[in-house]
Structure 1
């Protein structure tokens, strides 16, 4: 028998970006102990970062050194800029003690897999099944040059990435049945949901270094439960919770429908039963085959899930929770939906009577750190947002959403001026987009046509938002940098409004120049005259209404000329 060796503790597999701009793969031990030397991860796909962060990096820290107990202790850890000697020793000891459990091709305990996993027919599939950009089954990306019939040679490092991706983001629907699973019917398992991250819009706070990112996701008083909560690499077996439902071991071909046992269990959730099959090639060890079967299913996504914003429903459907994870919207930048990220207050009192948005658990923790002065007001916090859009009963991947924005810390506070400015900026951009769309609709009516349906075709407001996007991001970064300087903030908003006016004016002029000659005379519809003049007037009235800092008589005299 041939034995293949790849241990996540010692072998390089995590791509990291150094402060000198050099990208290289490093072992788990180096990534954690030297986290202060790296600015962040450098995975080729945005979905891989939250998968590795949640499935490996954070659980190792929680299980080895635990979270800080207080905001003061958190501030002490954070101010050092890296783990101290005792913490480094604790992490190294933990990885040494559990090194065998991080062996990717272990005969008995392969990492995040089931040893000896087989289908009833002993059939294996191409490792391409793990990679969503490759056509497999119902999932047929438009520009895929490979299919599941082709051999995909994955380096061990790449195999780890896509193994963890699959646990987090895999598509739903039918999966190959596992030999030894009593729920298999006709060699298949049906009713599989997507991976847990696929059911929400992931929101991860990130810092200037990998260490800071880890700390921002390891806030004080992290709710780690007792002995029942552990990373799944230590879950050799589970006891029955009650008389009606057992909890299957993640190392068995069977699976459970159950709630999470705690944060570490949730972060390392094994949504699939998988076995990687390596082979020796002239280029070294490569994973070419895989067995991928049904895995554990969360009975519901808990409110303690730290990396998503929520919608709180006052009147949920029967049998459903009031808490629903929010998904990211395709084609929409994160800054356009900042309201949900800034909604830090939990529903109570009068708010219980209606639906409302609530930010992520992690951002509420970060607000408490800022309130306790553990983080300075001007700290350069960034938000990384990742999501997957599924189609056809969630059996295919239609789109991947990825974005990153600066988020002023003080904007999380309901009584801080920066919150009002950030909210105002977002509302202004949305209002300008709607005003341009209305102008477009009015011009089409004036020219004898019909408006473009809201859910079809091209809308010029989307193009305006795209043009405003880099400007809005720069404004957010400046608000973050000067959060404690009111005079500078006011100057910054004046500059934003001036540029927003100029860009909006440019887009409006293009529409006016493209309008047909008959739009000048206009057309009467339901006793209202639609004309080029009225469309222009309504648009510039909207600019004056929403961009008040830049409004002046000079602007009025030159509108549309």
Structure 2
């Protein structure tokens, strides 16, 4: 088959796995996904991270089609959100845009293959195996993967397209193949430039009841900034998805590749459309016209996340004193990455708005910043609206060269809880999570004191108690927060959560005490010496005393409330 007859255009060919609102599963092209966006429940994928990567790709097309909504952002955004893609204006605009850039979405194009570089090669013309394309295949660890054996020798084109998008979002760091023509290559190797862009983030995707609502909920206008942001704005004239730019070469792209001495400088980030389609790697798929047989992965454009908080819209941020010292800069924000060991709801206080929302610029820099998507939704004020907050992320290991674990967690709640329209709800949520954290800490202490009474090490029992505590609170908190909306009486739900928390904490304490050994029940005296005064004190540890101390702490944390004795 002649090379110019080989084609797989993502605009027209089915490759995106979706779940429809009627529960059926389909594979759709990009144009079909947009045309049926009101009927699609969610984007799926071979692994959960693909949902985030594919949604970011489709969101970049939204930015390309409708722009940055500067000046009339709220009005235009509400029109898109309320009217849906089925309205002729929105659908026609998307189809026109997709048709105009259609030639840039062909995986096998001779001059500008999608998310790749035509003619990319090494000095020895090597091609790597497909395990380098599949994110969840650790080097040398093929037992814990979604594919194995012969499945990695070849791959269908639709699946390879999904992995290609995921690779450009989350590829680990480490040594890459050295592309001929790239002056950064030394000894035939491309030395590490860091993980792919989305790998830096604690990704937050706001999901609506269908794909269209999901995309528009994550579509922030340039009007998200106001006078309090110091005049910050995206470079809207330069910000564009990768397919609107000239095809890339094997070399780093001037103006996009961030020099090491410019880490933390805002000018490198351009805007959201650029970041949604950032080419962290130079790639070329090997194929036989029917299947993908190998892949070449080389270094692309380096970009570090320090101070990208005014450009990357889909992550929360934290102030980093360590980075401020390293970069010798007065203020550095880093993405607030998700901890794989912590449920999403435990980090909710960093996402909800409160009475202090918007004051950080008048009172000095904030220690944490909410995602720009949530700040934008504060401005458009769509009121009560049920959403699913979906978190994504990667924890890398071994100098960020391998994937250790991934994050995929969801929380169903009302958008009002996250917004500044009812900031008192943010305070209620923050207090509820704080109550859990403090209560679980006291549960840890109970387990530790019982271990001391038995003459045993405390670390194991304390860790097991914490795991049991957070596990017990997980479903209770998710159910409680889902019921909050603009009609909520904050004092009523505070009391409701206090009752729930007391019952759970007392029940867990009883369970830990009931498991104590006879040695712990009898107990023992423990003498400790004060290192400052030299004085010694002796304390008797036993289960009964440990329970008394624990109940006293919980009663102080959560005073007795009416109806405490009711069943959960």
Q: Alignment RMSD, CA only?
A: 2.6
Is residue 68–residue 236 contact of structure 2 (8 Å, CA) maintained in 1?
no
In the alignment, the residues of structure 2 paired with residue 350 and residue 28 of structure 1 have an alpha-carbon distance, to the nearest angstrom, of 45
The alpha-carbon distance between structure 1 residues 549 and 307, as it changes in their structure 2 partners (threshold 3 A), is farther
Matched, 1:21 2:23: yes
Cα offsets for 1:93-131 (capped at 9, x unmatched): 111121111101111110010011111110101122111
1:221 shift after superposition: 3.1
1:178 shift after superposition: 0.5
Unaligned residue ranges in structure 2 (runs of 5+)? 224-232, 259-267, 529-537
Partner of residue 52, structure 2: 50
Is residue 136–residue 148 contact of structure 1 (8 Å, CA) maintained in 2?
no
In the alignment, the residues of structure 2 paired with residue 305 and residue 346 of structure 1 have an alpha-carbon distance, to the nearest angstrom, of 21
In the alignment, the residues of structure 2 paired with residue 444 and residue 313 of structure 1 have an alpha-carbon distance, to the nearest angstrom, of 37
What SS does the corresponding residue of 1:192 show, helix, strand or coil? coil
Matches within 5 A, 1:83-162: 83-136=86-139, 140=141, 143-144=144-145, 151-162=152-163
For residue 554 of structure 2, the aligned residue among 525, 543, 547 is 543
The alpha-carbon distance between structure 1 residues 300 and 44, as it changes in their structure 2 partners (threshold 3 A), is closer
For residue 248 of structure 2, the aligned residue among 247, 250, 255 is 250
In the alignment, the residues of structure 2 paired with residue 551 and residue 543 of structure 1 have an alpha-carbon distance, to the nearest angstrom, of 16
Is residue 130–residue 163 contact of structure 1 (8 Å, CA) maintained in 2?
yes
Cα offsets for 1:346-376 (capped at 9, x unmatched): 6335444xx7121111111111222xxxx12
The alpha-carbon distance between structure 1 residues 366 and 58, as it changes in their structure 2 partners (threshold 3 A), is same
For residue 322 of structure 1, the aligned residue among 332, 337, 340 is 332
The alpha-carbon distance between structure 1 residues 147 and 293, as it changes in their structure 2 partners (threshold 3 A), is farther
In the alignment, the residues of structure 1 paired with residue 360 and residue 414 of structure 2 have an alpha-carbon distance, to the nearest angstrom, of 23
Partner of residue 504, structure 1: 505
The alpha-carbon distance between structure 1 residues 100 and 81, as it changes in their structure 2 partners (threshold 3 A), is closer
Is residue 17–residue 24 contact of structure 1 (8 Å, CA) maintained in 2?
yes
TM-score norm. by structure 1 comes to 0.87
For residue 463 of structure 1, the aligned residue among 461, 468, 472 is 468
Matches within 5 A, 1:156-175: 156-175=157-176
Partner of residue 399, structure 1: 405
**Structure 1 residues 204-213 or 250-259, which shifts more?**
250-259
1:485 shift after superposition: 3.5
The alpha-carbon distance between structure 1 residues 185 and 346, as it changes in their structure 2 partners (threshold 3 A), is farther
What SS does the corresponding residue of 1:43 show, helix, strand or coil? coil
The alpha-carbon distance between structure 1 residues 548 and 23, as it changes in their structure 2 partners (threshold 3 A), is farther
Unaligned residue ranges in structure 1 (runs of 5+)? 237-248, 556-561
In the alignment, the residues of structure 1 paired with residue 514 and residue 197 of structure 2 have an alpha-carbon distance, to the nearest angstrom, of 49
In the alignment, the residues of structure 1 paired with residue 143 and residue 431 of structure 2 have an alpha-carbon distance, to the nearest angstrom, of 39
For residue 357 of structure 1, the aligned residue among 368, 371, 379 is 368
Is residue 176–residue 292 contact of structure 1 (8 Å, CA) maintained in 2?
yes
Matched, 1:266 2:289: no
The alpha-carbon distance between structure 1 residues 476 and 226, as it changes in their structure 2 partners (threshold 3 A), is closer
Partner of residue 190, structure 1: 191
In the alignment, the residues of structure 1 paired with residue 449 and residue 22 of structure 2 have an alpha-carbon distance, to the nearest angstrom, of 53
Count the aligned residue pairs.
524
1:414 shift after superposition: 8.2
Matched, 1:339 2:341: no
1:229 shift after superposition: 2.2
The alpha-carbon distance between structure 1 residues 213 and 146, as it changes in their structure 2 partners (threshold 3 A), is closer
Partner of residue 290, structure 1: 295
The alpha-carbon distance between structure 1 residues 295 and 180, as it changes in their structure 2 partners (threshold 3 A), is same
